[in-house]
Structure 1
Amino acid sequence: MQTFENSVEQSAFPRSSFQPLWIVGLGLTVFAACLLGIFSRPFGMLASVWPANAILLGVLVRHPLLASPAGWVSAAAAYLLADLLTGASLGAAVVLNAANMTGVSVGYLLFMRLSTEHRHLRRPLAVLYMFSISAIAGASASVIGSIVVTQYFGEPIARAFVAWLTTELVNYVVILPVFLAMPPLSDRERVAPAASTTAAAGINPWPIISLVMSCVAALLVGGPGAIAFPVPSLLWCALTYRLFAVAVLMAIVCMLAQVAVASGILHLGVNRLAEATLTSTRLGITLLALGPLTVASIDVARRSLIARLSHAVDYDFLTQCLARAAFMARASTLVETEKRKGPVFAMMLDIDRFKVINDTHGHAAGDHVLQAVALTIRLALRSGDLIGRLGGEEFAILLVRQTPMEAARVAERVLTAIRALGIDLENGEKLSVTASIGIADLLSAGSRLDGLLSQADKALYAAKADGRDRIRVFGNGISETGAVAGR
Structure 2
Amino acid sequence: MQIFENTVEQSAFYRSSVRPLWIVGLGLVVFAACLLGIFSRPFGMLASVWPANAILLGLLVRHPSLSTPTAWICAALAYLMADLLTGSSLGAAVALNAANLVGVGVGYILFMRLSTEHRHLRRPLAVLYMFSISAIAGASASIVGALAVAHYFGEPISRALVAWLTTELVNYVVILPVFLAMPPFADRHRVVSATGVKPWPVVSLAASCAAALLIGGPGAIAFPVPSLLWCALTYRLFAVTVLMAIACMLAQVAVASGVLHLGVDRLAEATLLSSRLGITLLALGPLTVASIDAARRTLIARLSHAVDYDFLTQCLARAAFMVRASALIEAENRKTPIFAMMLDIDRFKVINDTHGHAAGDRVLQAVAVTVRMALRSDDLFGRLGGEEFAILLVRQTPANANRVAERILAAIRALKVDLENGETLSVTASIGIAERLPTGPELEGLLSQADRALYIAKAEGRDRIRAFADGTSAAGATAARFDAARQQ
Secondary structure (helix, strand or coil) at the match of 1:321 reads: coil
Q: Does 1:322 align with 2:316?
A: yes
- Structure 2 distance, partners of 1:193, 1:277, is 41
- CA separation in 2, counterparts of 1:395 and 1:407? 16
For each residue in 1:201-259, what CA deviation from the matched residue of structure 2 results, as whole angstroms up to 9, or x when unmatched? 96100000000000000001100110110011111111111111111111110010000
Please give the alpha-carbon distance, in whole angstroms, between the structure 2 residues aligned to 1:223 and 1:401: 65
Kept after mapping to 1: 8 A contact 2:30/2:78 = yes
**Alignment of 1:309 onto 2:303:** yes
Q: Secondary structure at the match of 2:313?
A: coil
Task: Check if 1:257 corresponds to 2:251.
Answer: yes
| 1:51 paired residue number | 51
Change (3 A) 1:193 1:256: closer
Q: Please say if residues 463 and 472 of structure 1, whose CA atoms lie closer than 8 Å, have aligned partners that are also in contact.
A: yes
> Equivalents in 1 of 2:178, 2:52: separation in Å?
14
Structure 2 CA distance for partners of 1:220 and 1:192, relative to 1, 3 Å:
closer
SS state at 2:383 partner: strand
Write the distance in 1 (CA, Å) between the matches of 2:449 and 2:214.
72
Assess if the C-alpha contact under 8 Å between 2:457 and 2:466 holds in 1: yes
Contact 2:7–2:113 (CA<8 Å) still a contact in 1? no
Per the alignment, residue 337 of structure 2 pairs with: 343
What secondary structure, in the 3-state scheme, does the structure 1 residue paired with 2:440 have?
A: coil
Checking the alignment, whether the CA contact within 8 Å between 2:468 and 2:475 is kept in structure 1 is no
Partner of 2:485: none
Compared with structure 1, are the counterparts of its residues 278 and 195 closer, same or farther at alpha carbon in structure 2 (3 Å cutoff)?
closer
- Quote how far apart the aligned CAs of 1:4 are: 3.6
Quick check: 1:445–1:451 contact (8 Å CA) kept in 2? no
Correspondence list, 1:1-400, <5 A: 3-4=7-8, 15-16=17-18, 19-185=19-185, 188=186, 191=187, 194=190, 198=193, 203-400=197-394
Per-residue CA deviations over 1:52-77 (Å, capped at 9, x if unaligned) read 11111111111222221111111111
Partners of 1:349 and 1:10 in 2: CA distance: 46
CA contact (8 A) 1:341 1:401 kept: no
Give the Cα separation in 1 of the matches to 2:368 and 2:438.
27
- 1:156 deviates by 1.7
TM-score, normalised to structure 1's length? 0.93
**Deviation at 1:277?**
0.2
Q: 1:309 to 1:445 in 2, by over 3 A?
A: farther
Q: Are the structure 2 counterparts of residues 70 and 236 from structure 1 closer, same or farther at C-alpha, using a change threshold of 3 Å?
A: same
Q: Which amino acid aligns with 1:209?
A: V
Which amino acid is 1:130 matched to?
M
Aligned 1:426-441 pairs, distance under 5 A: 426-441=420-435
Letter in 1 for 2:111: F
Percent identity, aligned pairs only, is 79
Q: Could you tell me whether the CA contact under 8 Å between 1:10 and 1:63 is conserved in 2?
A: no
Q: 2:479: which partner in 1?
A: none
3-state SS, counterpart of residue 42 of structure 2: coil
| Kept after mapping to 1: 8 A contact 2:181/2:238 | yes
Structure 1: gaps spanning 5 or more residues: 483-487
One-letter identity of the residue aligned with 1:139: A
What is the CA–CA distance in structure 2 between the aligned matches of 1:193 and 1:92, rounded to whole Å?
45
Q: Could you list the per-position Cα deviations for residues 166-197 of structure 1 after superposition, in whole angstroms to 9, with x for gaps in the alignment?
A: 00000000000111111134xx2xx267568x
Matches of 2:439 and 2:369, distance apart in 1: 28
Q: CA deviation at 1:24?
A: 1.3
Note the alpha carbon deviations across 1:99-154, whole angstroms, 9 max, x for none: 11111111111111111111111111111111000000000111111122122222
Q: Do 1:247 and 1:293's aligned partners in 2 also have CA atoms closer than 8 Å? A: yes
Cross-structure match for 1:485:
none
Shift of 1:91: 1.1
Work out the CA distance in 1 between the residues paired with 2:451 and 2:465: 12
3-state SS, counterpart of residue 390 of structure 1: strand
Query: In the alignment, is the contact (CA less than 8 A) between 2:13 and 2:67 conserved in 1?
Result: no
Letter in 1 for 2:66: L
Root-mean-square deviation (Å): 2.2
Partners in 1 of 2:223 and 2:6 — Cα distance? 45
Matched residue type, 2:379: D
Q: Which runs of 5+ in 2 are unaligned?
A: 477-488
Q: Secondary structure at the match of 1:124?
A: coil
Q: AA paired with 2:453?
A: A
Note if contact 1:458-1:480 (Cα within 8 Å) is conserved in structure 2: no
Aligned length: 472
User: 1:447 Cα shift?
Assistant: 4.2
State the partner residue of 2:448: 454
Measure the CA separation in 2 of the matches of 1:253 and 1:131: 19
Which whole-Å CA distance do the structure 2 matches of 1:384 and 1:159 have between them? 63
1:341: Cα distance to partner?
A: 3.2
Q: Mean alpha-carbon deviation: is it higher for 313-322 or for 421-430? A: 421-430
Aligned amino acid, residue 431 of structure 2: I
Residue aligning to 1:465: 459
Cα distance in structure 1, aligned partners of 2:229 and 2:273: 24
Q: Is the 8 A contact 2:337 2:397 kept in 1?
A: yes
Read off the aligned partner of 2:22 and give its amino acid letter: W
CA contact (8 A) 1:339 1:447 kept: no
